[in-house]
Amino acid sequence: MKTDTAENARPPARPSGAGGRPRVPRRSPNRAVLGIVGVVGFLLLWEAVPRIGLIPARFLPPASEVLAALGERLVLPEFWTAVGDTVLTWGIGLGIAFAAASLLGFAVGSVPVLRAFTHSTVEFLRPIPSVALIPLAILLYGTDMASTLLLVVYAAFWQIYIQVLYGVSDIDPVAEQTARSYGLGRLSRLRYIAWPSALPYVLTGLRLGAAVALILTITGQLIIGTPGLGQQISVAKNSDATELVYALIIATGALGVAVNVGVRALERRALRWHASVRGEEIA
Amino acid sequence: MSAASTDTRDAARRPGASGASRIALRALHLLLLPLVLIGAWWLASAVTGLYYLPTPGEIAATFVEVWGAERLAADVLPSIGRLIGGFTLGSVLGVALGVVLGLSARLRAVLEPVLEFFRAIPPPVLVPLLMLFMGVNTTMKLAVIVSGCIWPILLNTIEGVRAVDPVLIDTCRCYGVRGRRWLTTLVLRSASPQIMAGMRQGLSIAIILMVISEMFASSSGLGYTIIQFQRSFAIPEMWSGILLLGLLGFGLSVLFGLAERRVLYWYNGVRAAARGE
Amino acid sequence: MLDVTGLQKIYPGQQGEVEALRDLTFDLGEGELACLVGPSGCGKTTLLKCIAGLMRPSSGSVVLAGTSVTGPPPDMAVVFQEYGRSLFPWLRVRDNVELPLKEKKLPKQRRRELSDEALDAVGLLKSADAYPWQLSGGMQQRVAIARAIAYEPRVLLMDEPFAAVDAQTRADLEDLIRTLWKRFSMTVLFVTHDIDEAVYLGERVLVMSSSPTIIQDDVTIDLPDERDQINTRGEHRFAELRTRIYAEIRNASQSATAQPQEAGKAH
């Protein structure tokens, strides 16, 4: 009999997925100081390189000018509208992908026949780069937010769906049999056995999906021109406002960090009860 | 006599028949849903007659027509070349830097916040930036791919190098294994599962960047051609381009999977052994 | 051959320092097979790492054949307790054995001879092309032992090598160690927490106290040279030696629990 432990059934990508492993302990004050040294050093370098003319300032404006441009932006309502649009597109896209992938994943994952019949299709559709759909999206929705949503949903869906499938196949057969022998119905088994054991995988999928969704949100805004930070970058680039391009890139980076930190925090919260079982996953 | 012969014939046929039905079932598993989906598409496009939804037959015919040898040489192969070049360069740089950072706790502590920030920047924003820097040329397209796909590879390599088993480190010290052999036999091999995971993520980012750098800033290449088809409302051509990109993504994923299976043969074995198989 | 003098190791800890080893002094003669036995948590692994040059002692010295040990010495091999983790899972058995020989820059021919001989000695020549994870725990530890012998060390250190294998395998491996020791004439230092194992294997048993550790006793095992799992363990003298060491270790762990304030004073 096969006793799949969670650790073994995990695909190779799991030990360090896109979000990286949350590193809770071991952040001693010394590390924080060194980290600040790194950030300050980086900013100084960035300031110095254009100032001494290593790279002309029209290509790489000094850090102070970029940060000043960012500061100016931060008080403009249109900047916050763009941020809002970006977050909204990201959130809706991720939400749709998550709902669809969880439902389909649980349904297909728990019925072996369905799994067998869908495998080839999934393996073909999954690696298709979502940017291939850009022309179709433009054709269907123009520069409407829906254009970008199409890309976001397609990209994030597969990340989550695959993890849900792994998660469902990872359900401990002993727990499942125990539940059956105690006469738990199908729904209670789903609630008390399948869902908790698949949860870590679902959250990994969410983490990977969230990162990919942000990438595609920005891509769609940049290439298609749907409203948001990506479109602002494109506009700034076309009007040769170099420091603004850099400032907006920093803004998208900050958004990226926020998404990573947020999803990791969610993961830690949701898996607190799991810590003893899978210390390796959490710590 | 005749009964006996029927018996033996049955006995001889039975395993063969069940084998054949197994193969038939496999084929059904493999092909049924794709065929149903293609059929449904066909029906939908025939019934609705929407201009943006040509029939699969039309797309297939256009595909053969559009992506002939000429366009293959002019647009497709250069794109794939840049993709593979950029991905290779990004992998080499990512692994090299990752090993250095993974081995030095101090350097890691200094650079970690900066690297985390760079990793969090969605790579597509680098396209306008690098256009600014370098103009529109091959170097810029390569730079876009490298600077996008390097992060997951770099960060996963760091994780992998940090996770080298201390018992193996001691073993190498005891037996005087050092220098290049230490690096190749201990560090890189031990980190290879994480490196491969990082490279897989890096590859899909590289494909995205290859396509959009050509859509955004180019006058040739796969991405450019496809977006041109859309702009000129050459719908079946556009679909054939989407199909080609899909096949490219699928093909690269299959190739990468094969390479991964070779490189991580030992890793899958260890995992299977731990499962008690 | 191996002189350990006044060895002390103090770990810096979060709640003050922890003195793992206090003052260890002993020496091993050329070709001796000595067992080091002590209660669990007495710093056996720390001592072994100091001897192997993997860890710097806080004070005291380790001298191997007249040379002070500051890093891993070239003619010493170590077999670790965690057999599964000390073999390279991406190398086949033979490559695991030959890896240190490659680093010694031995020609291919010679490497092959040495690995053949070592694998044959542990009875694993047939598994030379297998991967470590395809073997059982006992076989994996044999590979680690073969790797150590193929290295042709003058001193072989073994850190509780059989702690994680089943009883029957363990008995076989113990006999294997005696055989190899005679055949390859090495000096062997065998660390264990199992008193029976120490008495059965050793020519000499060094008894360690509880932490902070000193050498509490040095017992010569005057059992006949030819040992046998059934007869030797049945001998009256075996029982006597076993009882003596057992009593000492029990005293050691009792006095350790009775003197926490003394341990505190040491900091």
Question: Residue C245 falls within a domain, yes or no?
Answer: yes
Cβ contact B226–A132 (<8 Å): yes
What residues in B contact C146, CB-CB < 8 Å?
A: none
C205-244 pLDDT, tens digit per residue, is: 999 887 778 888 888 888 888 888 888 888 889 888 999 9
Contact B171 C80 (CB under 8 A): yes
| ipTM surpasses cut 0.90 | no
Q: Could B197 and A17 be called an inter-chain contact, meaning their C-beta atoms sit closer than 8 Å?
A: yes
Taking one residue from B and the other from C, the number of pairs with CB-CB distance under 8 angstroms is 68
Between the alpha carbon of residue B199 and those of residues A37, B81, B95, B260, the distances in Å are 30, 17, 10, 10
Output the pLDDT for position A256: 94
Chain C: residue whose CA lies nearest to B265? C90
pLDDT in tens, chain B (277 residues): 344 444 444 444 455 557 888 888 888 888 889 999 999 999 988 888 788 889 898 899 999 998 888 888 888 999 999 999 999 999 999 999 999 999 998 899 999 899 989 989 999 998 888 887 777 788 888 999 999 999 999 999 999 999 899 999 999 999 988 889 999 999 999 999 999 999 999 999 999 999 988 888 777 888 899 989 988 888 999 999 999 999 999 999 999 999 999 999 999 998 888 776 5
pLDDT at C258: 54
Domains delineated in chain A: 65-282 (1.10.3720.10)
Are B211 and A3 in contact (CB < 8 Å)?
Answer: no
Global model pTM greater than 0.90: no
- B61 and B151 fall within a common domain: yes
pLDDT tens digits for A137-186? 998 898 899 999 999 999 999 999 999 988 888 777 777 778 878 877 77
Position A203 pLDDT exceeds 50:
yes
My answer on whether B20 and B117 are in the same domain is: no
In this prediction, residue A274 carries a pLDDT of 62
Q: What is the pLDDT of residue A25?
A: 44
**Do B174 and C77 make contact, defined as CB atoms within 8 angstroms?**
yes
pLDDT of residue A9: 33
Q: Which chain B residue shows the shortest CA-CA distance from A123?
A: B250
Q: Residue A8 has what pLDDT?
A: 33
Average pLDDT value for residue range A237-265: 92
Do residues B227 and B182 both lie within one domain? yes
* Chain B neighbors of A117, CB-CB under 8 A: 28-29, 32-33
Judged by CB atoms within 8 Å, which residues 64-103 of B form the interface with A? none
With a cut of 90, say whether residue A95 has pLDDT above it: yes
* CA terminus-to-terminus distance, chain A: 30
Quote the pLDDT of residue C156: 92
Q: Does residue A283 register a pLDDT over 70?
A: no
B74 and B196 within one domain: yes
Q: How far apart are the first and last CA of chain B?
A: 48
Position of tokens 């760091």? B158
Neighbours of A81 (CB within 10 A): 13
* Of C147, C158, C145, C143, nearest in space to C99 by CA: C147
User: pLDDT in tens for each of the 267 residues of chain C?
Assistant: 888 888 888 888 777 788 888 888 888 988 899 999 888 777 888 888 899 988 888 888 899 888 888 888 888 999 988 877 899 999 999 999 999 999 888 999 999 999 999 999 889 999 999 999 999 888 999 999 999 999 989 999 998 888 878 888 888 889 999 999 988 889 999 998 889 899 999 999 999 887 778 888 888 888 888 888 888 888 889 888 999 998 888 877 666 555 544 444 333
B51 touches chain A (CB under 8 A): no
Residue that finishes a domain, picked among B14, B37, B52: B52
Instruction: Give the domain range for residue B185.
Output: 56-275
| B108 Cβ contact partners less than 8 Å away, ≥ 6 residues apart | B101, B102, B158
- How many structural domains does chain B have? 2
For residues A276 and B27, the model is more confident at B27
- Sort out which chain A residues have CB atoms less than 8 A from B237's CB and list them: none
Q: What is the pLDDT of residue C45?
A: 83
One domain, residues B93 and B6: no
Instruction: Give the pLDDT confidence score for residue B17 in this predicted structure.
Output: 57
B239 and B222 in a common domain: yes
Q: Which of B41, B116, B121 to mutate to test the interface with A (most CBs of A within 10 A)?
A: B121
Question: Are B211 and A132 inside 8 Å of each other by CB?
Answer: yes
Cβ–Cβ under 8 Å, residues A271 and A200? yes
In this structure, the dihedral spanned by the alpha carbons of residues B244, B246, B252 and B253, taken in order and rounded to 10 degrees, is: -160
Neighbours of chain B (3+ CB pairs under 8 A): A, C
Of B12, B35, B52, the residue at which a domain comes to its end is B52
Is B2 in the same domain as B97? Answer: no
Q: Are residue B225 and residue B92 in the same domain, yes or no?
A: yes
Residues B163 and B137 in one domain: yes
| Residue (of B91, B264, B259) closest to B193 by Cα position | B264
With beta carbons under 8 A apart, name residues in chain A contacting B277: 2
Q: Are B226 and B242 in contact (CB under 8 A)?
A: yes
What's the CATH number where C173 sits?
3.40.50.300
- Shortest Cα–Cα distance, C54 to chain B (Å): 7
What single DSSP character describes residue A124? H
CA distance B167 to chain C (A): 6
CATH number for position B127: 1.10.3720.10
Q: Which of B173, B174, B185 is facing C88, going by the closest CB pair?
A: B185
Question: Are B129 and B177 part of one and the same domain?
Answer: yes
With beta carbons under 8 A apart, name residues in chain B contacting C134.
269, 273
Sign, Cα dihedral of B264, B269, B274, B275 = positive
Contact status of A262 with chain B (Cβ, < 8 Å): no
* Max Cα–Cα distance, chain B, nearest Å: 90
Q: Which of B165, B167, B171, B263 to mutate to test the interface with C (most CBs of C within 10 A)?
A: B171
**Residue B116 contacts C, CB cutoff 8 Å:** no
A246/A176 Cα distance (integer angstroms) = 54
Q: What is the pLDDT of residues C183-198, one digit of tens each?
A: 888 999 999 888 989 9
* Torsion angles phi and psi, residue A274, rounded to 5: -85, -15
* Pair B14, B92 in one domain: no
Chain B residues closer than 8 Å to C99 by CB: 175, 177, 181, 185
**Pair (B74, B150) in one structural domain:** yes
C88 contacts B186? CB cut-off 8 A: yes
Whether the pLDDT of residue A17 is over 60: the answer is no
Number of structural domains, chain C?
Answer: 1
* Min Cα–Cα distance to chain B from C130, Å: 11
The pLDDT assigned to B16 comes to 52
| Owning domain of residue C206 | 27-56+67-75+153-265
Query: Residues in chain C whose beta carbon is closer than 8 A to a beta carbon of chain B?
Result: 49, 52-54, 71-72, 74, 76-78, 80, 82, 85-86, 88-91, 99-100, 102-104, 131, 133-134, 147, 151
- Beta-carbon contacts of B146 under 8 Å, excluding residues fewer than 6 positions away, are B86, B89, B90, B93
Q: Which chain B residue shows the shortest CA-CA distance from A256? A: B120
Query: Is B181–C76 a contact, with Cβ atoms under 8 angstroms apart?
Result: no
